[in-house]
A = this chain, B = another copy of it.
Amino acid sequence: MTGGTAPHPTGDELLRILAALGNPHRLRIVATLAEGGRDYVSSLARRLGIGRPLLHMHLQRLEAAGLVTGSLEQAADGKAVKYVEVTPFAIGLTPEAVVRAAATITQEEKHMKESAK
């Protein structure tokens, strides 16, 4: 197991990571998890002072970027609880790294509304 995000991600991966971290709420989510360790969604929402649906959406983006990992577990009392924790990562952000990443950007088509029927 790697246990961390590679220092030289592809262009799309880097874009997802940067976009995910470029948001006050999401940055604070990562910071909170990095400091206090793993926590479950409802508790985390309370700590951050935001609603659960909102947190849920942000967590989705962070998971999609590979920055956090969620695992649905059974608490001691049998309740289903989803714990989430940060995935270790180390990204070096320099112009050279940007050049390398930009070379592998996949320009996915806008929406191609019902083409190729």
Question: Nearest B residue to A21 by beta-carbon distance?
Answer: B18
Contact with B along A11-22 (1 / 0, CB 8 A): 100110111111
Which label, helix, strand, loop or mixed, suits the secondary structure of the A interface?
helix
CB-based contact A22/B18 at 8 Å:
yes
The CA of A33 and the CA of B27, in the complex, are separated in Å by 28
Binds B, one of A52-60, A70-78, A85-93: A85-93
The CA of A101 and the CA of B11, in the complex, are separated in Å by 24
Q: Could you say how many copies of this chain the assembly holds?
A: 2
A residues contacting the other copy or chain, number (CB 8 A): 35
The CA of A40 and the CA of B37, in the complex, are separated in Å by 47
CB-based contact B98/A21 at 8 Å:
yes
Q: Quick check: is A34 within 8 A (CB to CB) of the other chain?
A: yes
Known: A24-B15, A27-B11. A95 touches B102 (CB 8 A): no
Q: Quick check: is A99 within 8 A (CB to CB) of the other chain?
A: yes
Q: Quick check: is A109 within 8 A (CB to CB) of the other chain?
A: no
- Residues of B within 8 Å of A14, CB to CB, are 27
